[in-house]
Structure 1
Amino acid sequence: MTLSPISGAPEDAQSDVARQIRRVLWVTMFLNIAVAMIKLGYGYSKGIVSLQASGFDSVFDGAANVIGLVAMGLAALPPDPEHPYGHRKLEVAVSLFIGLMVTLSFLEIGRTVWQSALSDTPIAIEPAAYLVVISSLVVSLGVSIYERREGNRLNSMLLKSDAAHTFADSLASVAVLAGIYLVDIGFPVGDILAALAVMFFVGITAYRVLRDGIDVLVDTSYLDPVAVRRVVKSHPDVLSCHNMRSRGMPGHVQLDLHVSLDPKMSLETAGDILLAVKANLREAFPEVADILIQIEPHKPIHIEDVPEKLL
């Protein structure tokens, strides 16, 4: 078994994680496409605009799964001289693309709602409409729970962002169910209101997915510096810990910091302390893939009682 030159994790283990993520994407893709076809087919045949809007959302879900499968193959590539940190940020790029697709879904739903608002064609609600919506609700909710659970287990930003979108589908289906009920009891405007509710959930999802992806791209601090300092200082020979920085994404975080030690200490002893501190950090923060620690001789400038927000 070989080790990754960056993270130190077994490459076999990384490949297994990638395979598991791809398996989740295949399962969710088929389910999303099936739900989309059912909702679009019935929605268009009966002129139910809220069901059409929800169907468009599910189509983009399935398309996002396809893109995710392609990206996973690229993101799983090992580090090379041109990409010494690996290719994991391709997963972030795909998450951003999913966010853009959700935004397109938002705009398409808005267009459909506008066209429906201008139409005066009556809508007849049949028992089959309830069956279609309830079935899609159950499937979407199940897919969302499955993807989020697997995303947390595998530390996959891609699965987590896709799970958030699928969960919005579940909420949207509830709104559609309420809308067709209002139409059924004599309030035609209920269909438009339900479609607007779908737009709201889709818009919130687009914002969250894009925000999380941009946070990674602009190197937003990932780890709490106070918690990192606490772990580093737990080693009795570390005299101070400062200049802490972290960045990355779930399952792949880079951390660098400075520690000061007794200037009279031997280089060999300092190296042993460095390895021990790294081991403590990896145990406390399993998502850390790379740790860079600069050792400095302790000086009066290395003050321990500085405000924690400045650490």
Structure 2
Amino acid sequence: MDHSTYKKAERGAWLSIGSYILLSGIKISVGLIGKSEALQADGLNNLTDIIASVAVLIGLKIAQKPPDENHRYGHSRAETIASLVAAFIMITVGIQVIMGSVESVLNPSETSPNIMTAFVAFFSAIFMYGIYLYNLKLSKKVNSKSLYSAAQDNRSDALVSIGAMIGIIGAYFGISWLDPAAAFIVGIVICKTAWEIFKDAALDLTDAFEVEKLKEIESTIRSTPGVKLVKDIKARLHGNQPIVDATIFVEPTLTVIEGHQIAENVEERLSQTHQINHSHIHIEPQVN
């Protein structure tokens, strides 16, 4: 990802931060006025989400730093670490939502909230879902995993607001069990999303790589003119950038220049076919 692309991803992170600051203020204020604990809790949830969005923004900032003496491959993995932070915050929120739903069953509230608070929760959910769609589209466009994690967090917050709305309506009409039931389901969805983000980030940090994708890369290398055999091919992700190492065997009678040209052809094909701009091709003579 180049500097301009990182700047585009930063816009998504700033949008999330601004939205959370605005919504948390509105929800907490209206929740206090309308006597809705559900809306207040939703507002407090948005306050914690600011931390996750800031983590994503910091990760994007660090990822832009050029390679240095200690980071010869650059700082792209800062994005992956930001995704991990977002996942931890999301799963914390999810567990809190689940525990809150159990608490609501054990200690049901007798206070009837103002129906106005349900409308605030509903419009907050619509607004945050729009932020989710924007960040999701942007994350795919710029290929940013940390922004994708932020988008999933946006969607989780929209679901939390829907759960709050259902709970408020249930309490308003005397159907108290709707609140904990909706909250419990929403909590499960948030935890599931957080787990998927954590799993993907952990796989990237441990240099895992999709097997089918690696086979496609190997096929591209093998079909390059002059390549007789491909051995010891490996790939890993550095942030959103794939890095490939491979050993190719060529005719032993070729000159150094001819062998080097074949390696360059392999690298060019990897760049054009798979958008792999970091590859290390080692040449060996094929001896029968």
Percent of aligned pairs sharing the same letter: 22
Question: Aligned partners of 2:260, 2:182: CA distance in 1, in Å?
Answer: 63
Residue identity opposite 2:14 in structure 1: W
1:244 alignment partner in structure 2? 233
Question: Are positions 1:57 and 2:45 aligned together?
Answer: yes
1:153 alignment partner in structure 2? 141
1:181 alignment partner in structure 2? 169
Which residue, out of 243, 249, 253, partners 1:260? 249
Secondary structure at the aligned position of 1:79 is classed as: coil
Residue identity opposite 1:226 in structure 2: K
Pair 1:198–1:38, CA change in 2 (3 A):
farther
Question: Aligned partners of 1:115, 1:45: CA distance in 2, in Å?
Answer: 23
1:168 alignment partner in structure 2? 156
Secondary structure at the aligned position of 1:263 is classed as: coil
Residue identity opposite 2:241 in structure 1: H
| Alpha-carbon shift at residue 145 of structure 1 (Å) | 0.8
**Is the Cα–Cα contact under 8 Å of residues 50 and 194 in structure 1 kept in the other structure?**
no
1:234 alignment partner in structure 2? 223
| Alpha-carbon shift at residue 25 of structure 1 (Å) | 1.2
Secondary structure at the aligned position of 2:236 is classed as: strand
CA RMSD in angstroms, aligned pairs only: 2.2
Aligned residues: 287
Comparing 53-62 with 15-24, greater Cα deviation is found at 53-62
Secondary structure at the aligned position of 2:83 is classed as: helix
Secondary structure at the aligned position of 2:247 is classed as: strand
* CA deviation map 1:90-148 (0-9, x unaligned): 11111111111112222333443344334343242433123212211111111111111
Residue identity opposite 2:122 in structure 1: I
1:33 alignment partner in structure 2? 21
Pair 1:122–1:236, CA change in 2 (3 A):
same
Secondary structure at the aligned position of 1:121 is classed as: coil
Secondary structure at the aligned position of 1:195 is classed as: helix
1:298 alignment partner in structure 2? 286
Residue identity opposite 2:235 in structure 1: S
Residue identity opposite 1:260 in structure 2: F
Question: Aligned partners of 1:198, 1:49: CA distance in 2, in Å?
Answer: 17
Question: Aligned partners of 1:270, 1:53: CA distance in 2, in Å?
Answer: 65
Secondary structure at the aligned position of 1:187 is classed as: coil
Question: Aligned partners of 2:238, 2:45: CA distance in 1, in Å?
Answer: 26
Question: Are positions 1:210 and 2:189 aligned together?
Answer: no
Comparing 38-47 with 25-34, greater Cα deviation is found at 38-47
Question: Aligned partners of 2:38, 2:236: CA distance in 1, in Å?
Answer: 41
Secondary structure at the aligned position of 2:171 is classed as: helix
Secondary structure at the aligned position of 1:292 is classed as: strand
Question: Are positions 1:97 and 2:59 aligned together?
Answer: no
Secondary structure at the aligned position of 2:71 is classed as: coil
2:112 alignment partner in structure 1? 124
Question: Aligned partners of 2:163, 2:93: CA distance in 1, in Å?
Answer: 17
Q: Which runs of 5+ in 1 are unaligned?
A: 1-12, 301-311
Question: Are positions 1:136 and 2:124 aligned together?
Answer: yes
Which residue, out of 208, 211, 218, partners 1:220? 208
- State TM-score, norm by structure 2: 0.90
Which residue, out of 194, 214, 217, partners 2:182? 194
| Alpha-carbon shift at residue 46 of structure 1 (Å) | 4.4
Question: Are positions 1:275 and 2:264 aligned together?
Answer: yes
Q: Which runs of 5+ in 2 are unaligned?
A: none
Question: Are positions 1:284 and 2:255 aligned together?
Answer: no
**Is the Cα–Cα contact under 8 Å of residues 119 and 165 in structure 2 kept in the other structure?**
no
Secondary structure at the aligned position of 2:2 is classed as: helix
1:10 alignment partner in structure 2? none
Question: Aligned partners of 1:45, 1:219: CA distance in 2, in Å?
Answer: 51
